[in-house]
Structure 1
Amino acid sequence: MAQNSPNGEIQSSNLPNFLLSVRLKYVKLGYHYLISNAIYLIIVPILVAVGLHLSTLTLEDLMKNLAMLKSYSTLVVFLGTIYFMSRPRNVYLVDFSCYKPHERYMISKERLVEKLTDIFDESSLNFQKKILYNSGLSDKTYIPVDKWIPSNFSLSSNQNQAKLVIIGAIDDLLAKTDVKIRDIGFIIVNSSMFNPTPSLSAMVVNHYKLSVNVITYNLGGMGCSAGLISVDLANRLLQGKANSYALIVSTEIVSSAFYTGNDKSKLIPNMIFRMGASAVLLSNRFSDRRRSKYQLMHVVRTHKGADDRAFSCVFQDEEEDGKKGMSLSKDLMAVAGEALKTNITTLGPLVLPMSEQLLFFASLIARNVFKRKIKPYIPDFKMAFEHFCIHAGGRAVLDELQKNLDLSEALMEPSRMTLYRFGNTSSSSVWYNLAYSEAKGRIKKGDRAWQIGFGSGFKCNSAVWRALKTVNPAKEKNAWTDEIDDFPAQVSR
């Protein structure tokens, strides 16, 4: 999200009030899984009982009771059919692509400051310079400079930028997968700030001249976590239609979000948001499993919008002179921390080993039943994941999450390098993170990757993937490939 971290930190000492609700959360989660898997809990005992009974019968007994044997066989087939028809379809990530803009859009911090000089007063300019030079961004990030600054950009220039990054990402993905776009049944495009009419998803349909039967969705106003919301939506759609593909495109059109006023709470996005996009191809075809990179294991979504403070901590509004901007409140980091804690409370039982869950419960009981004054136990998610893809929203965000999840510099490297090389590309940043790990040759078969996204509303969303194969960086080209040997770069802290 942003850089304006207040002095307050998201620490474990903020958890006590929250822990009282954790027990109920776990009870609800257990009830949910009991009900959701009730059919399996019924089928398995029946099949075991049938098998045990059959094992006691001799061949002569079976020949004398052909009717009973037929009944048992019919029951097994019936229950097996119910099982295979009711279980969720597996969803595979065939491949993904991250858009790398042309070098003509590359801009250094010094050049960016020069272009801002004639737009802002001295106070606002100095404030932005301070943010920029402490942002953790390099001199090689991308902005559509000629259209974006000075800020006389038009609707058509924003549409051109959208088409450039969206079609660029899709074309690269199609080239990787050899999938014909006409075979894709669902198309989901998410862009938070820029939502023209016709929609961006309609633009994709028009560009590729797709069939009238293609089903499209266009997600707007959902912030930097919209890419993972799109994954959840695609997963739900793929559960309902067999042998289908879903295409997800995540982007943000930075020129549409540029603010030219002097309200410091609205100036921060000017300095950290950059040009980028990702395209992801999901499939529920079993035949695609062998060539797919990952399998979707879990998606957990947390929405804190009922809380007024959370709802307004990232807020777009218009000033009296008509200038629009996105305000980032001083509560942002605290709200993000609360959303993360809620999210991982649901995610934890799904991914953590039993040893970590028992330690967490022991801490909970000691504090709330026996009233012991001990620190809450924070589960070690490093035991559940080999790769962490944290939204590269800003250096302060990454610092806080590293502290609270107790992650090493090596585990934070993909997120920090994504911020350094590409800036905050909004909802697509988690894919630049994963692409970095691929380019480094770190993705091994069986590895688990955790993508974490934050967005306005306020939302925290997680997606968990399991690698189906070892990714060979010599064969898998992506946005990092040509310069991956230059990383990790030294970033001033």
Structure 2
Amino acid sequence: MIKTPSCRVYLVDFACYKPPDSQKCTKEFMIKKAKLSGYFSEETLDFMKKVFGKSGLGDSTYLSEVYLKQVTDPCMKESRREMEMSVFGSIDMLLKKTGVSCEDIGILVVNCCIYNTMPSLSSMVVNRYKLRDGIISYNLVGMGCSAGLLAIGLAEQLLQVHRNSYALVVSTESITENCYLGDDRSKFLTNCLFRVGGAAILLSNRRSDRRTCKYELLHTVHTNESHSDQSYNCIIQEEDAAGRLGITVTKHLFKAASTVVTSNVTALGYLILPSQEKLRYLANAVAGRLLTTAYIKPYVPNYSTAVDHFLPHVGGKPVLDELQKNLGFDDSAMEASRMTLYRFGNTSSSSVWYELAYAEAKGRVKKGNRVWQIAFGSGFKCSSVVWRARRTVDSDDVNPWMGEIDGFPVHVDIDDGPLPFFESSK
């Protein structure tokens, strides 16, 4: 679905949660902890080492508190504590940055794939901040890593109806409830890649915010391939043969991702690509149909001519490698995503906001710049959001990269090649 706003929507500001240093963990520590737990075989531990070697993660990512204790008990109490820390932490920073009163927030959209309890996360936010009785609230669950941008799309549509409003969007994920305690490799991958994180975003359709906001929303494009059995089943929560719950990631992941991303990017291209690129693509397509006896290499449009910052979901190094190869972006365009993966790991739906924070911390977002965020996840779904910077964006004291941004980018010493057991998208 393609949606072009009829009412202008602005991104006032956003904030990313940065856990305390006590939650930092190295890859070596995680392997040691997994070994001491007694849950995993030597073969699984060896698989874990191989995944870490190809993942692109560094040694300063954050793990949930429960897995740093001597005795781990990933219960509901620990899950709720994790959610409160990331959700309240990011919202508190956002409210402090913007100075917006809780009474002025009319729309709330919260997304978290795994954590689903009663009362819901959105109700937890309403209760904590005593949001008004007439708050329009939604709680999105089970929608994977693309849910954060889907939430932006939902908030944008609500802002078309409810004028002169603020919309608060919160994206996070539960690591406490996301740990698989078995030897099925297809379920063990999530243990290696996902880390603690969260982001809060404040949107507005108020004309008074036009001059002070950071960005203006230009386009939202959402693609859903759930009608395909292969796409639908490539990421699914289920029990293994021993009854242990986990998230199965099948070997068809890259094929499903390639299909949905291609569809999404093609739809977005009609909206953002300059005329010259559209004509080249059209000429190539026509030649391919007319010259049926000759091989015509498909033309991949140069998307760097349409956007200034490319911020794809950081699913893992092989995922970023595939996107870079297929879309033709250079290494500098991939810097924010690769450094976010290295420093924070895969924080699911909030990862695209850590990337934007990186670009801001580097002082690279200038007035008029176009920012493309793209995320994909279970279903299989893909969402793209394009923003235009309303002003040159300076960094601030609560940017998660502050105090260490000068040390980036860093060279990431990793093993090249796909993650163990995955098929190529070709």
Range of TM-score over shorter length: over 0.9
Query: 1:406 aligns to what?
Result: 328
Q: Say which SS state the counterpart of residue 33 (structure 2) adopts.
A: helix
Deviates more, 1:142-151 or 1:363-372: 142-151
Aligned counterpart, 1:327: 248
Q: Are 2:386 and 1:468 aligned?
A: no
1:112 aligned residue: 30
Say which of 132, 136, 158 aligns to 2:56. Answer: 136
SS at match of 1:469: coil
Name the TM-score, length of structure 1 as normaliser.
0.81
Out of 16, 20, 30, the position equivalent to 1:102 is 20
For residue 147 of structure 1, report the CA deviation from its aligned partner: 4.5
Q: Give yes or no for contact 1:148–1:255 (8 Å, CA) kept in 2.
A: no
Is 1:194–2:112 an aligned residue pair?
no
Does 2:380 correspond to 1:380? no
Deviations 1:73-129 (A, max 9, x none): xxxxxxxxxxxxxx8110000000010000111111111111100321111111112
Q: State the one-letter code of the partner of 2:18.
A: K
| Aligned match for 1:300, one of 221, 226, 235 | 221
Aligned runs of 1:312-351 on 2, under 5 Å?
A: 312-351=233-272
Q: After TM superposition, where is structure 1 displaced by more than 2 Å over at least 4 residues in a row?
A: 145-152, 319-322, 369-373
> C-alpha displacement at 1:229, in angstroms?
0.2
SS of aligned partner of 2:403:
helix
* Equivalent residue in structure 1 for 2:181, among 253, 260, 273: 260
C-alpha displacement of 1:483: 0.6
In terms of mean alpha carbon deviation, does 267-276 or 128-137 score higher? 128-137
The corresponding residue for 2:282 is 361
Q: Given that residues 105 and 131 in structure 2 are in contact (C-alpha distance below 8 angstroms), is that contact kept between their aligned partners in structure 1?
A: no
Of the three residues 311, 334, 338, the one matched with 1:416 is 338
Given that 2:165 and 2:205 are in contact with CA atoms closer than 8 Å, whether structure 1 keeps it comes out as yes
The one-character-per-residue Cα deviations of 1:362-397 (angstroms, maximum 9, x if unpaired) are: 001111134342111111100000100110110110
Q: Please give the secondary structure, in 2, of the residue aligned with 1:195.
A: coil
The residue aligned with 1:203 is: 124
In structure 1, C-alpha distance between the alignment counterparts of 2:252 and 2:131, rounded to whole Å: 45
| Matched residue type, 1:295 | E
Structure 2 equivalent of residue 245 of structure 1: 166
| Residue 122 (structure 1) aligned to one of 16, 29, 42 | 42
How far did 1:319 drift? 2.6
Amino acid at match of 1:89: C
Question: Matches of 1:348 and 1:407 in 2, distance apart?
Answer: 15
Determine if contact 2:375/2:382 at 8 Å carries over to the other structure. yes
**CA–CA separation in structure 1 for the residues paired with 2:85 and 2:67:** 13
**SS, match of residue 147 in structure 2:** helix
Pairwise mapping of residues 41-80 of structure 1 onto structure 2 (< 5 A)?
A: none
Long gaps (5+) in structure 2: 415-426
CA contact (8 A) 2:13 2:214 kept: yes
Task: Name the SS of the counterpart of 2:212 in structure 1.
Answer: coil
Counterpart Cα distance in 1 of 2:391 and 2:216: 10
Aligned mate of 2:6, from 80, 88, 91: 88
Give the helix-richer structure, 1 or 2.
1
The Cα offsets for residues 321-380 of structure 1, whole Å up to 9 and x where unpaired, read as 331011111111111111111011111110000000000000011111343421111111
User: What one-letter code is carried by the residue in structure 2 that aligns with 1:234?
Assistant: A
SS across alignment from 1:410: coil
* 3-state SS of 1:361 partner: helix
Aligned partners of 1:147 and 1:157 also within 8 Å:
no
Paired with 2:321 and 2:72, the residues of 1 have a C-alpha distance of: 32
Q: For the Cα contact (< 8 Å) 1:109–1:133, is it kept in 2?
A: no
In structure 1, the gaps of 5 or more residues are 1-28, 37-86
- 1:459 corresponds to which of 381, 385, 404: 381
Task: Tell me the SS of whatever aligns to 2:387.
Answer: strand
In 2: Cα distance, 1:403 partner to 1:133 partner = 21
What count of residue pairs does the alignment treat as equivalent?
A: 410
State the distance in 1 between where 2:392 and 2:315 align.
28
